[in-house]
Amino acid sequence: MNAPLGAALAASLALLAACTTTASPPESQPPVSAAQVGESRPGSGYLKGYLAHGELPDSLALLPPPPAADSAALAADGQAYRALTALRAGPRGAQAARDAQLRFPQAADAFACALGVEVSEQATPHLNMLLRRTLSDAGLATYKAKDHYQRTRPFVTFKEPSCTPADEPALARDGSYPSGHSAIGWAWALVLTEVAPERADALLQRGRSFAQSRGVCGAHWASDIEAGRLMGSAVVARLHDNAVFRAQLALARQEVAAARGKGKVPDAAACTAQQQVLDTSVRLAP
């Protein structure tokens, strides 16, 4: 995860352990404003998730340990690092740097091309809130394992730069396994396939490339990314037991349909260009 989010969510664990999330409104009226939901930590800019701390999937119980020293799995991680970071100097690296940005409103368009709809607080308030709150759930769910293993990040191991230099000091102190960005991106992809099932293939491909960007950046090992996607899946499964999430999901579906009807779609040329960039790494691990 990027440094501000990692620090904010790590600090939020202590707060969330002592309290529940925002009181659930009637299922037909989930909140759409940040003021109603509240921040996970005051001033962080990241909102509370749908799940209370005790409801989050247990990453330490669900995940195996990261690859051991001198193992074949660790060697494979090193090979994937070299293959992916070789793309950092080109357009794929620039896309990876954009994918590292999890703050809204900037992050709202990360999946817009795959979804085929522009996402914003104004035009699609329920969809926007769905993404903001699932971000926190997926990110926080990785921290039990992160804090336990405290795995060193690859750019630190290899003493090389990442694609987000300003974040490196904080990232170096934040455990690498599992990848929070990958959990978030995969959770978004899965949730959005329910919002727009006809776009499932494009959305899942984007979820994979979003997670893969962490390898291009050198911020995570391939095994971190794979473990992050598993945690993203676990979070989405757990979210389906939350009435506010289900209500917001249903309203997001309506917003997407309405936006398409009004022609609120991303620029086709920009989306074609983005896909061409992402295609350069699609066959590389992870």
In the chain, where the domains are located? 3-18+40-278
Among candidates 109, 171, 143, 191, which has minimal Cα distance to 40?
Answer: 143
Predicted confidence at residue 283, as pLDDT, reads: 85
Predicted confidence at residue 276, as pLDDT, reads: 96
**Parts of the chain with a pLDDT under 70:** 1-28
Active-site residue list: 181, 214, 220, 224
**Can you name the residues that pair with 91 across neighbouring β-strands?**
none
Which CATH architecture describes the domain 3-18+40-278? Up-down Bundle (1.20)
Residues 6 or more apart in contact with residue 215 via CB below 8 angstroms: 80, 81, 84, 85, 221, 222, 225, 284, 285, 286
Predicted confidence at residue 95, as pLDDT, reads: 98
Alpha-carbon span 212 to 230, nearest angstrom: 14
Predicted confidence at residue 264, as pLDDT, reads: 85
Burial class (CB in 10 A: 0-12, 13-18, 19+), 211: buried
